[in-house]
Amino acid sequence: MSTDAPNLGDVTEPTNIVIFGATGDLTKRKLMPALIAMIDCGLLHPDSRIIGVVNKRSEQEWLELVRAGLQEFSPGVAMDEARWQSFSAMLKMVPGDLADDSTYTGLAGALETLGGRKNALFYCAIPPEWYDRTASGLHAAGLVDQAEGFRRIVIEKPFGMDLASARALNKALQRYFDESQIYRIDHYLGKESVQNLLVYRFANSILEPLWNRNYIDHIQISVAETLGVEYRARYYEQSGALRDMIQSHLMQVMTLVAMEPPVEFTDAAVRDEKMKVLRAVRRFRPEDAGCQAMAAQYAAGVIDGEQVPAYVAEPDVSPDSATETFAAVRFHIDNWRWQGVPFILWTGKRMKKRVSEIAIRFRKIPFNLFDTHAKPPVPNTLVFRLHPDEGIFMRMNAKMPGLTTDTQRMVMRAPYAEDGMDVAEAYETLLHDVLLGDATLFSRADEVEESWEIVAPLLTAWEDRFSIERYRAGSWDVPDMDELLQGCVGGWHKPH
Ligand code: BG6
């Protein structure tokens, strides 16, 4: 890694950051910690204000919640009295219920009285069924007009639950906001390591000649989690792993791996290239659900020495639920670069390790010259580790020390961040980008609809499932993965 001082980014203009859902989990776990980190790095203009739209709580109660949240989720921030006083001076509460017009007019009034900052960012950290109502309320209160400053709306995932609902949501939002004002968050695109993939691909010359069907056998993109469904079963029961992770995060990462070099690094150019990848993804037929995709659910098991319950025994999960907590899909991209190279995207909760990776598996050597006593050479694998320990690893073969030419596996490592160097959290990057008006790392309406369209036959085929395969929590014992990876050199790449 270079030792050049990092460029922390541009300071944003003074902005009113309005959070709908200001007492919710996302605000507590992600948004407030990101905002305070941005202040620490000098990335949030000190004249900005953070406005929470809050129902049924006093301003004092809300402030206490924010403070407690920061203590829990920003452990690196020393929140002494002086620090809290300076941060809380930026906070302001606007009371109201999302269903009432008066909330939005009250907000408009508050923004007017606060004066000074004409820019506004509206962050919808609320359940998706409220997106439309909130957008229409903002519009009716005259808060969408950009005559005096920018007005941008941030929409969280899930963006729809299928193609029809995603289309309806796009239509609803575009009734009130121009597409250029809408920022659909996919926090995977905000991860440093995901952006680093683009830099590795397009700032180095050695990868491009190899980056195609002539050298690559297949690609695996994975997110293995050790956490279970936690407190989110009400959402997850309707969603499952295919919707929750593959349609959104993993397909977005796939587009970055597979896209052609854009003509410039702008949101339009990058998103056009990603969109071309999605258009080239081979469509599934209903019968593919059985052989191009697989689903499984965690049974009870042990993680880090602790017994954990089966998915069906988690709170709010139906005891006969067939919702998948593991999903894997084998995609094909029908274009010149990728014809014949499977992209296997997989994700699971309650796996053995928390690891997320992009593994580029190269073709086998054409002929082995070396001794056969030892194991044959392993296929070369280039791994982009998204987390933890962000970085790049290349699995190679080397000579085993001694008087033979037996080979052994060797791993070349290039950690992304040196020890002690901070890797920005995805939400810091993404909030900063919204404030700068850079939509490169956000999903455009057509991308979201296209990816729903691609997975639709799988969703339909899985809809009426009554039973599902199981895997033991804390293991890699997922049935049928070997079948899904049939023909792929080296088989399933289980992260180490
Ligand atoms: C969210 C999913 O979008 O991403 C969660 O809804 C999942 O189910 C999470 O746990 C994973 O994110 P990360 O950044 O922890 O890998």
Nearest CA to ligand 1 atom 14: 188
pLDDT greater than 50 at residue 3: no
The number of the ligand 1 atom at minimal distance from the alpha carbon of 239 is 6
Q: Rounded CA gap, 105 and 107, in Å? A: 5
421 pLDDT band (50/70/90 cuts)? low
The number of the ligand 1 atom at minimal distance from the alpha carbon of 356 is 16
> What average pLDDT does the segment 140-157 reach?
94
Nearest CA to ligand 1 atom 16: 223
Q: Which residues pair with 51 in a beta bridge?
A: 18, 92
How far does the centroid of ligand 1 lie from the alpha carbon of residue 349, in Å?
10
Q: Tell the residue number behind the tokens 């929409």, with chain if given.
A: 155
Kindly report the CATH class assigned to 190-425+444-484.
alpha beta
| 177: amino acid identity, one letter | F
Reference 283, options 243, 245, 331; nearest CA is 331
Q: How many CB atoms lie within 10 A of CB 354?
A: 14
> What average pLDDT does the segment 411-426 reach?
76
How far does the centroid of ligand 1 lie from the alpha carbon of residue 243, in Å?
12
How far does the centroid of ligand 1 lie from the alpha carbon of residue 444, in Å?
20
* 244 in contact with ligand 1, CB cutoff 6 A: yes
How far does the centroid of ligand 1 lie from the alpha carbon of residue 330, in Å?
21
CB 201 within 8 A of CB 164: no
Tokens coding 182: 């809408």
Q: Rounded CA gap, 87 and 429, in Å? A: 20
Q: Which mutation among 249, 250, 355 tests ligand 1's pocket best, with the greatest number of atoms within 8 A of CB? A: 249
The number of the ligand 1 atom at minimal distance from the alpha carbon of 227 is 10
* 157 in contact with ligand 1, CB cutoff 6 A: yes
Q: Rounded CA gap, 300 and 475, in Å? A: 10
422 pLDDT band (50/70/90 cuts)? low
Nearest CA to ligand 1 atom 4: 245
Task: Write the secondary structure of the chain as one string of H (helix), E (strand) and C (coil).
Answer: CCCCCCCCCCCCCCEEEEEECCCCHHHHHHHHHHHHHHHHCCCCCCCCEEEEEECCCCHHHHHHHHHHHHHHHCCCCCCCHHHHHHHHCCEEEEECCCCCHHHHHHHHHHHHHHCCCCEEEEEECCCHHHHHHHHHHHHHCCCCCCCCCCEEEEECCCCCCCHHHHHHHHHHHHHHCCHHHEEECCHHHHCHHHHHHHHHHHCCCCCHHHCCCCCEEEEEEEEECCCCCCCCHHHHHHHHHHHHHHHHHHHHHHHHHHCCCCCCCCHHHHHHHHHHHHHHECCCCHHHHHCCEEEEEEEEEEECCEEECCHHHCCCCCCCCCCCCEEEEEECECCCCCCCCCEEEEEECCECCCEEEEEEEECCCCCCCCCCCCCCCCCCEEEEEEECCCEEEEEEEEECCCCCCCEEEEEEEEECCCCCCCCCCHHHHHHHHHHHCCCCCCECHHHHHHHHHHHHHHHHHHHCCCCCEEEEECECCCCCHHHHCCCCCCCCCCCC
Nearest CA to ligand 1 atom 15: 225
pLDDT greater than 70 at residue 6: no
Q: Which residues pair with 92 in a beta bridge?
A: 51
The number of the ligand 1 atom at minimal distance from the alpha carbon of 349 is 10
pLDDT greater than 80 at residue 86: yes
8 pLDDT band (50/70/90 cuts)? low
Counting residues of the chain whose pLDDT is more than 90, the rounded percentage is: 81
- Check residue 2 and give its pLDDT: 39
How far does the centroid of ligand 1 lie from the alpha carbon of residue 293, in Å?
20
CATH of domain 8-156: 3.40.50.720
Q: Which mutation among 244, 423, 429 tests ligand 1's pocket best, with the greatest number of atoms within 8 A of CB? A: 244
* 192 in contact with ligand 1, CB cutoff 6 A: no
- Check residue 411 and give its pLDDT: 93
- Check residue 180 and give its pLDDT: 97
How far does the centroid of ligand 1 lie from the alpha carbon of residue 159, in Å?
14
Q: Rounded CA gap, 409 and 282, in Å? A: 35
pLDDT greater than 80 at residue 403: yes
Q: Rounded CA gap, 254 and 247, in Å? A: 10
Compute, in degrees rounded to 10, the torsion defined by CA atoms 219, 346, 474, 462. Answer: -150
Q: Tell the residue number behind the tokens 């057509």, with chain if given.
A: 446
Q: Rounded CA gap, 49 and 112, in Å? A: 13
The full set of domain ranges for the chain reads 8-156, 190-425+444-484
CB 188 within 8 A of CB 252: yes
Least confident of 41-55, 122-136, 202-216, 404-418: 404-418
Annotated catalytic sites, by residue? Answer: 249
Q: Rounded CA gap, 220 and 85, in Å? A: 48
Nearest CA to ligand 1 atom 2: 244
Reference 266, options 370, 180, 171; nearest CA is 180
* 223 in contact with ligand 1, CB cutoff 6 A: yes
Q: Which mutation among 26, 159, 161, 223 tests ligand 1's pocket best, with the greatest number of atoms within 8 A of CB? A: 223
pLDDT greater than 90 at residue 333: yes
How far does the centroid of ligand 1 lie from the alpha carbon of residue 340, in Å?
30
The number of the ligand 1 atom at minimal distance from the alpha carbon of 249 is 3
- Check residue 370 and give its pLDDT: 84
pLDDT greater than 60 at residue 446: yes
Sign of the alpha-carbon dihedral angle for 321, 323, 325, 329: positive
Tokens coding 432: 């900063």
Q: Rounded CA gap, 70 and 104, in Å? A: 27
Q: How many CB atoms lie within 10 A of CB 36?
A: 22
How far does the centroid of ligand 1 lie from the alpha carbon of residue 198, in Å?
21
Q: How many CB atoms lie within 10 A of CB 417?
A: 17
CB 457 within 8 A of CB 289: yes
pLDDT tens-digit profile of 237-292? 999 999 999 999 999 999 999 999 999 999 999 999 999 999 999 999 988 988 99
The number of the ligand 1 atom at minimal distance from the alpha carbon of 157 is 3
Average pLDDT, the chain: 93
Q: How many CB atoms lie within 10 A of CB 384?
A: 23
Tokens coding 383: 């791994």
How far does the centroid of ligand 1 lie from the alpha carbon of residue 115, in Å?
37
* 29 in contact with ligand 1, CB cutoff 6 A: no
CA-based radius of gyration for the chain: 24
> What average pLDDT does the segment 176-203 reach?
94
- Check residue 12 and give its pLDDT: 81
CA-based end-to-end distance of the chain:
23
The number of the ligand 1 atom at minimal distance from the alpha carbon of 229 is 8
1 pLDDT band (50/70/90 cuts)? very low
Nearest CA to ligand 1 atom 13: 188
Q: Rounded CA gap, 496 and 488, in Å? A: 19
Rounded to 5 degrees, φ, ψ at 485 are: -95, 15
Tokens coding 269: 């150019």
pLDDT greater than 70 at residue 423: no
